[in-house]
Chain A
Amino acid sequence: MPSLNRLTGAACVLAGLCLLLVVIPDQVEAIEDSGVQPATIPEAVAWVLMVAGASHTLFPAGDTPLDGPEALRAGMFLAIVGGGVYLMSEIGFLYVAPALVLAVMLAMGERRWFLLSTAALPVGIWAILELWLNRPLP
């Protein structure tokens, strides 16, 4: 079973290959002009990724301090915040942000009601920016 560390190296080789063969031809224009081609740096990066990735796959060094359960929980918080940001674009900062703070606090396991009043903070931020500085929030 190859170690996770080795696998990341292989992933880099794959990413470099994909970049060189698919993404760059599709997303970078070739210019029929004198001067440096726009693809120069991306192509160099792709080659470096392949070479460094291959060398890492063969001779892995360093470590991978990945903590599976923690990463899953981090993903959950990211999903909560991401959902909140999406709702902000639909409903507005003023309504969503306090709920978001509340949701994150509850997900952390906080139940003390006097601390949950932190949810009022975004309202204060909103008041400062929108009412005083005249800078619109979503």
Chain B
Amino acid sequence: MFDIATILAGLGDAVTPVNILFVVLGVAVGQFVGAVPGIGPVITIALAIPFTFALSPLSGIAFLVGINKGGLVGGAIPAILINTPGTPDAAATALDGHPLAKKGRPLKAAKMALYSSVTGDTFSDIVLITVSPPLALVALMMGPIEIVCLLIFAFAVIAGLIGKSLAKGIVAAALGLLCASIGLDPEHSSPRFIFGVPDLFDGLPIASVAIGMLAAAEIFRRLAAKREKITAAIAFDRNQPREDRRVSWAEYWGCRFTIARGAVIGTLLGAAPGIGTTAASFMSYASAKQTSREPETFGKGNIHGIAATESANSAVMGANMIPMLTLGIPGSVSAALIIGALIIHGIQPGPLLFEQQARLIYGLFGAMIMANFCNFWIGLVGLRLWAFVIRAPESVIFPSAIVLCIVGVYLSTGTLFGVAVMLVFAAVGYAMTALGYSVVIFIIAFFLGNRFELSLNQSLTLIDGDFSVMLDHPVAIALLALAVLTAYWLGRKRRPANGPPD
């Protein structure tokens, strides 16, 4: 379709010193803010957009994409080191990353996260660059009915993470859905559960709930757990053997199927907008656990758990660019911000983009590949930095972290009301964990709740009581069948475990 000269010229544009500088800067900034609890890449991109006005479109967009990619790697670091995910995408990384770190192998966990993240990201970028036109059709094929069925399938897979008590898992999901329903309803825009507070019109701020339950709740737990001597937040043993500090090729290669599955799940969910990185990483994690020969080691520091989540959440980002560039449909909040930036720079995403701006797009692709290399090298250097920072006493780490959470939520929501909501959900998160209700299930239901309700309403309107309409939607039927199969399979796996009462 395009002559090779345009492609080469575009790639050539990418490697000018200025662009390289901004890619490196973007990735470094992204990793930093991703790793700082409370402040994520989304709010950083929003803050950085005005600065890109002064740059050329390519440098500016490359900078923003760099922040986004860096943030996905950075978010895993605090998840592993102190069990407070820097971004919600890394919530699943904490499940195995932190136990491994507690076993005294934090560097191994963080490196596994970095390698699988870069691998997943590179995979989805290659998919984006080579086959985005056919994959753009995936986004178009996914109408409301298909999205509902996809969400049901996602719920069925993630249900594998429900622990010992099915009833408690269902309660957690129901509560998440309930919290998602606060605010204007999707069909009539009538306010629900507002209690006279205008701040609730748009629902509970996602940043407040996510940071409150995932990061702040854990910070409060750690603050409260401290009773005797104040020590470092996590123990590092300087004399530990080399193999405990690095990931060997054999270990990486051993995870190849896990990483590949994560990358494919992430890429597909990224190409079909609406599901998002967090759910993708949990789906990948759940399927890695279910298909593992030793599922009981998951949650106790299995590197497959880290590989599954990090490859999936990073793969979403590259694939998110497919509907974003070809159709102008954002698959995530950060993608929406980047679309805004593109438009300000006079670039209109959509059907004409590849024809009118081919050189720029190939420049951007070049920058993305470059950003992946940067992510890898800056990540390796950054790990040492964070490992150094985290040696500070807990009495420095956690009070600082709580202030950063306040600042981050204030920046994202623009009000102290948002900060108050964060504190409320820190308490809710603490209580749920203490009473054995899964915070993770709650968060996923909360994240997907709005999309689920909207798509369900759309589908019910389209079906209008005549379910023969479903026959025109083979993809939806296939997804539903998969969901039923998954549920059946999970049910069979549960039974022997539940059989003898303990």
User: Which A residues are within 8 Å of any B CB, using their own CB?
Assistant: 4-5, 8-9, 12, 19, 23, 27-29, 31, 33, 35-36, 38-39, 41-42, 45, 48-49, 52-53, 55-56, 59-67, 70-78, 81-82, 85, 88-89, 97, 100-101, 104-105, 107-110, 115, 118, 121-122, 125, 129, 133, 135, 137-138
Contact = CB atoms under 8 A, between A and B. Distances in A.
Interface string B339-365: 000000000000000000000000000
B410 A138 contact: yes
A104 B24 CA distance: 36
Contact of B410 (A5, A82, A133, A137): A137
A78 B427 contact: yes
B114 interface: no
Q: Which of A4, A53, A78, A125 has the most CB of B within 10 A?
A: A78
Interface of B: 47, 163-168, 170-171, 174-175, 177-178, 181, 185, 187-188, 190-195, 220-221, 223-226, 230, 393-396, 398-400, 402-404, 406-407, 410-411, 416, 419-420, 423, 426-427, 430, 433-437, 449, 453, 456-457, 460-461
B48 to A, nearest CB: 9
7 contacts: A12-B171, A62-B164, A65-B434, A67-B434, A85-B420, A108-B395, A118-B400
A22 B226 CA distance: 41
A74 B430 contact: yes
Contacts of A65: 433-434, 436
A66 B430 CA distance: 9
Contacts of A35: 187-188, 457, 461
B168 A45 contact: no
Contact of B226 (A101, A108, A122, A125): A108
A38 B178 CA distance: 12
A8 B435 contact: yes
Contact of A109 (B230, B430, B453): B230
Given A108-B223, A118-B396, A63 B416 contact: no
B434 A71 contact: yes
Contact of B170 (A48, A63, A82): A48
Contact of A104 (B47, B187, B195, B223): B223
Given A45-B178, A48-B170, A129-B407, A61 B187 contact: no
Contacts of A28: 185, 190, 192-193
A41 B421 CA distance: 22
B418 to A, nearest CB: 10
B411 A61 contact: no
Contacts of A49: 171, 174-175
Contact of A64 (B220, B416, B436): B436
Contacts of A75: 427
A5 B436 CA distance: 8
A9 to B, nearest CB: 7
A89 B181 CA distance: 28
Nearest to A9: B167
B236 to A, nearest CB: 18
A98 B475 CA distance: 56
Given A41-B181, A108-B223, A125 B403 contact: yes
